[in-house]
Structure 1
Amino acid sequence: MATISSITVAPMAKTLISNRVQRLPVNLSKSKSFWPSVPSFLRPRTQASKSSPAREQDLKTDEKSMSIDVLQRFINLNLGNWNGSFYQFDSHGNLMQKVHTKLSANSYGEDELTSLIQTLYIRQPPSSTSISGQDTESEWAEYKIKETNMFTVDKYQQIGFFPNERAFSLRYLTAGMLETVLRQGVLGEDDTGEESPKNLKLPSRRPSIVCENCLYSQEKDMRARAFHVLDPKGILEMILIFLEERDGVPFPTSLDNSEDNTNRISPFLGKWKGHSITKRSGVYGATISEADTAALLEIDDKGQLIQNLTSTSSAGDVTTNIHWTGILSENLVTFDRGFQMTLLPGAMYMGCPSDVAKSVAQSKSFHLEFCWMESPDKRQRLVRTYDVEGLAVSSTYFFETKL
């Protein structure tokens, strides 16, 4: 799904959320704004003024054309009718609820006025007033999602897009959508403070980070969209997964009936070899680097998880090695470097710092990761990197095979 940075209810229902995106105060850093402007080292460099005005205009036109092309490819990737389910997990990977969804995505306009318009439908729970033993037609709540266009995709969503690999990351500034979906899908739009259903946890009204990583299936016209939701203190609060199939059966592969719920670490153990592509955030999507990668995840004789990651630049001149030791407790892996992995059904995991506030306090960048192992020997990973002030600055796509 392209964007859910802000949602409004369809005209026939009452409006719950403003389309206006608000800047959210957070307490991760007392001395720095959490959503700053783009740092200088990532800004496009302009040459001093030997270029003629005509040449500068040509460059601007080329950049504009390139960004329009990227946006159009992004829109084309998302077009269609998507059927699936929305899953809510706590930070330890326990399923809290499942809601059936549909998504209709269309576009209009041309060139810089091209926009993606989407409507999300959420199946409502059966009415408590229905007659026992009598089949009733399902009711669906309808939501108009904020349009995606040249303005929103770069300014608000900070897209990280990989057209050939069919993957993207988006940044969000509010969790209004999340609360609306949960309240409308489970509590109903007229809920004004009644007790939540058992095991339902609504997200914080002011999260520090809401990030979507989307990976498309390598085998069929299907996708998984994964959301990290971190609370204002920088701690993972919940994980959301949309599993959707385009123009397919009403509800594709399910995560709540997977057979791997009891041993979710097994699919990821072993040696992996692959390739990575890193791009700057933004609609221009310039590639920063490419690298060959190798990964090893194993359990030693003490029951500890050992992870080794190696990355060698395509030019072969830079090699990076990372060695982590971790502890597995049910579905949560905690590494000694302050990083954690939440294991999910369906051979998926979500990774993030155990404490983002600590990374910020130590002036360290950090990353959020989504991994989907669709077949026993192949997996995709998408990593969203943030700078020390919490700005999404790059995205990295990995495709790896098991040795």
Structure 2
Amino acid sequence: MTSQWERLLQNLGEWQGSFTRFSPQGELLQDIKSVVSLQGLNNNQTIRQIVRRQGQEDLVLEYSSLSKSTLFFENGAFSQGSIQLAPFTEFGAELGLIHENYRLRLVQLFDKNGQLDQLTLIREHLAGTEAAESPTLQVKDLLGEWRGEAITIYTDLRSPNIVSTTLKLELDDAGRFVQSLSYGKHTITSSATIKGSIIHFDQDPHKQMQVLLLPNGASATSPLKVNLRQSFILEVGWLIQPNLRQRMVRSYSDKGEWTSLTLVTEQKV
């Protein structure tokens, strides 16, 4: 099995793209060009990371180990962020997917009261390759049956768990969005209202979740509020091709602790 450090090396290179900030309601707030370079030094024992954003000072980082707030999958996909939800502190995480010459990253931030505050979508391609331009994700792109595999890695570094998944997405007669997710012996069904680019799961008033449909086939699944003593997830989705989708889920326990990270790769059948 590859080490976490070896998995990080899948992200080496110069990534050109943009940081696009949205409000929780999906309004575009800011779009700035970016170049992020990750360079290996001393036989890749050290990484130098330079983040250049239009109109901002360069951010230069050098590191030779990874923090507990970060986990990587074998293909280089990763997540980093808060490892614990605490009262009156800002909270958030980044979820990063990678496919061939492209990366899609999403940062979800919550304010000191636990309210969803802002989202940043980062779309990148390796220097020397074409930028991928695909339109904003639509509900119709998601409808159908998706079958795939979910790999879960754990913060306590126990062995990964791999299960087959089936996700059925449809509209009912009332126009509600119905989601049925099966994995192992479990099936979870939930329904939501659709309003523009937002799919709002409103069945449980204490656990309001939304899926925000974003450019380049991206989607952001977030609680509207993160609450103490209540488990929750943060998720990014990426429709890479019309019949190929990846999702990454960062899971928190009812103690507010980050426990696991799941990467789902699924195909429409």
TM-score (norm 2): 0.88
Q: Which of these residues, 253, 258, 261, is aligned with residue 132 of structure 2?
A: 253
Compared with structure 1, are the counterparts of its residues 325 and 83 closer, same or farther at alpha carbon in structure 2 (3 Å cutoff)?
same
Q: Report what 1:271 is aligned to.
A: 145
Amino acid corresponding to residue 215 of structure 1 in structure 2: L
| Distance (Å, rounded) in 1 between the aligned partners of 2:252 and 2:145 | 27
The Cα shift of 1:375 comes to 0.4
| Distance (Å, rounded) in 2 between the aligned partners of 1:286 and 1:167 | 19
Q: Report what 1:25 is aligned to.
A: none
1:108 aligns with 2:41: yes
Structure 1 segments unaligned to the other structure (5+ residues)? 1-65, 125-139, 174-205, 313-318
The Cα shift of 1:85 comes to 0.9
| Distance (Å, rounded) in 1 between the aligned partners of 2:246 and 2:142 | 12
The Cα shift of 1:110 comes to 6.2
Asked if 2 retains the 8 angstrom alpha-carbon contact of 1:277 and 1:287, the reply is no
Amino acid corresponding to residue 120 of structure 1 in structure 2: V
1:376 aligns with 2:212: no
Compared with structure 1, are the counterparts of its residues 302 and 171 closer, same or farther at alpha carbon in structure 2 (3 Å cutoff)?
same
Asked if 1 retains the 8 angstrom alpha-carbon contact of 2:4 and 2:72, the reply is no
The Cα shift of 1:141 comes to 3.7
Secondary structure class of the residue paired with 2:49: strand
| Distance (Å, rounded) in 2 between the aligned partners of 1:287 and 1:274 | 20
1:305-358 CA-partner distances (Å, limit 9, x unpaired): 11111101xxxxxx111110111111111112422211112221111223211x
1:123 aligns with 2:54: yes
Q: Report what 2:221 is aligned to.
A: 351
Asked if 1 retains the 8 angstrom alpha-carbon contact of 2:8 and 2:76, the reply is no
Q: Which has the higher strand share?
A: 2
1:213 aligns with 2:95: yes
Amino acid corresponding to residue 277 of structure 1 in structure 2: I
Q: Report what 1:154 is aligned to.
A: 67
Q: Report what 2:154 is aligned to.
A: 280
Q: Matches of residues 173-252 of structure 1 in structure 2 within 5 Å?
A: 208-217=90-99, 220-248=100-128, 252=131
The Cα shift of 1:89 comes to 0.9
| Distance (Å, rounded) in 1 between the aligned partners of 2:53 and 2:247 | 28
Amino acid corresponding to residue 122 of structure 1 in structure 2: R
Q: Which has the higher helix share?
A: 1
| Distance (Å, rounded) in 2 between the aligned partners of 1:232 and 1:254 | 35
The Cα shift of 1:271 comes to 0.9
Secondary structure class of the residue paired with 1:356: coil
Amino acid corresponding to residue 167 of structure 1 in structure 2: A
Q: Matches of residues 22-101 of structure 1 in structure 2 within 5 Å?
A: 70-101=3-34
Amino acid corresponding to residue 293 of structure 1 in structure 2: T
The Cα shift of 1:207 comes to 5.4
| Distance (Å, rounded) in 1 between the aligned partners of 2:133 and 2:244 | 20
The Cα shift of 1:95 comes to 1.5
Q: Report what 2:77 is aligned to.
A: 167
Q: Report what 1:390 is aligned to.
A: 256
Asked if 1 retains the 8 angstrom alpha-carbon contact of 2:154 and 2:260, the reply is yes
| Distance (Å, rounded) in 2 between the aligned partners of 1:172 and 1:119 | 22
Asked if 2 retains the 8 angstrom alpha-carbon contact of 1:75 and 1:116, the reply is no
Asked if 2 retains the 8 angstrom alpha-carbon contact of 1:83 and 1:248, the reply is no
TM-score (norm 1): 0.60
| Distance (Å, rounded) in 2 between the aligned partners of 1:389 and 1:247 | 42
Asked if 2 retains the 8 angstrom alpha-carbon contact of 1:270 and 1:296, the reply is yes
The Cα shift of 1:397 comes to 0.6
| Distance (Å, rounded) in 2 between the aligned partners of 1:388 and 1:169 | 20
The Cα shift of 1:154 comes to 3.0
Asked if 2 retains the 8 angstrom alpha-carbon contact of 1:84 and 1:101, the reply is yes
Asked if 2 retains the 8 angstrom alpha-carbon contact of 1:213 and 1:227, the reply is yes
